[in-house]
Amino acid sequence: MTEEFHLIGDWRIPARFAGGLARYVLHRIPTGSFLRAVLENDLTEAVGRGDEEALACLVDLTRIVYNYVPMVARRGGVDDWLAGRDDPKNELEDAAIKQRYGEYWKDWVNA
């Protein structure tokens, strides 16, 4: 499978992952199982769920998650992030996150 890639920071990932991460960060839309495993920092699950292309970009994808996904939305916070339970000040927090991270993700929401 050959697909389009996106450069985020210094790292390159397939468009399908850029779009999934953008929708996750900006709109709290669940990702697929491979991306969720990466977000949860579950290497074993990510390797078990990833296809050849996903595994080839795993290091870059992990660097992107570390640098461009809010800390409250990764590791053990994925379920809370998706449910909007990450912080009692959700509206204020969402606005700050969209302002800080929206610049990185806005171009890939529809990827």
- Whose tokens are 């949860």? That residue is 40
4: Cβ contacts below 8 Å, ≥ 6 apart: 14, 15, 111
Strands 11-14 and 5-8: antiparallel
| 1 has pLDDT over 60 | no
Average pLDDT, the chain: 83
pLDDT of residue 26: 85
CB 107 within 8 A of CB 23: no
| pTM to 2 decimal places | 0.80
**pLDDT tens sequence across 60-103:** 999 999 988 888 899 999 999 998 876 645 555 666 666 666 66
- Whose tokens are 């870059």? That residue is 60
